[in-house]
Structure 1
């Protein structure tokens, strides 16, 4: 039954793509770290475009950067962005926003009250997570290449 869920299938396909890249594990890990860092930034609809652009400009692995951005997916984005906001808010010493702030018209000042802590929190959390992602990817790629990944059986209709 879990094979029918698109999320698990996409995850498996991403792992297969990483394992089959013909680059050094260090190069793949650098691309993955770049993608993870960009995934942690509050660039909501353009993260994949930014990851490919920066991977091209910095001459990093584009596929690994593309895969790394998927750290923020519909399941993890609320947790990641909420944590980033709280970390940034605490570092800036701002009071928490109440629900009544969102009932009014959305304005530039409200955007700044949310955006500044979110941006600071994304930098504070994104850098260490990208470093952890680099080290994990660099160590896992050689073992993934040895692992024989079976194909899923096709459904007979």
Structure 2
């Protein structure tokens, strides 16, 4: 039954790999926090490379950093970036922008810094908050998760040929 649901199986395999990461809990937690911080920045498309690069430079767990980046995936990114933009706009006291009437590249190019500045400020605020929370939660979670016994997938019974 479970083998028919590939998504659930893949999710479990990723979770098992994360549980079996080698390294000290502090290293893994720092890698996760770094990945989540970079995942909250508006560098969509380059986040994985940036996270692995900085994890390599800081000698933190690169796989945990890569996993942390996935906080912004195609489903969550629009909500996270909209929240970051609105928060940054409010902190800077900027007025809300009206979208251009025609959706062309030149129309969006004119918005420029009026969008980028609040988005960057909001991403820094949420990035720091989420990274600190991720570090604390991961640091406490890793020793507990490493003791879990994760059962194998049920195997279908083979019929004996007579």
Structure 1 gap segments, 5+ residues each: none
- What count of residue pairs does the alignment treat as equivalent? 155
Distance 2:81 2:6 in 1: 25
Distance 1:83 1:155 in 2: 47
TM-score w.r.t. structure 2 length?
0.85
CA contact (8 A) 2:39 2:68 kept: yes
Which whole-Å deviations, capped at 9, do the CAs of 1:100-153 have from their partners, x for residues lacking one? Answer: 366463354412111111111000110010000000000111111111122334
Detail structure 1 runs of 4+ shifted over 2 Å in the superposition.
Answer: 1-6, 8-15, 99-109, 150-156
Which whole-Å deviations, capped at 9, do the CAs of 1:27-53 have from their partners, x for residues lacking one? Answer: 100000000000000001010000000
Bigger Rg, structure 1 or 2? 2
Higher helix share goes to which structure? 1
TM-score w.r.t. structure 1 length?
0.87
Aligned partner of 2:84 in structure 1 is 84
CA contact (8 A) 1:87 1:117 kept: yes
Structure 2 gap segments, 5+ residues each: 158-162
CA RMSD of aligned residues (A): 2.3
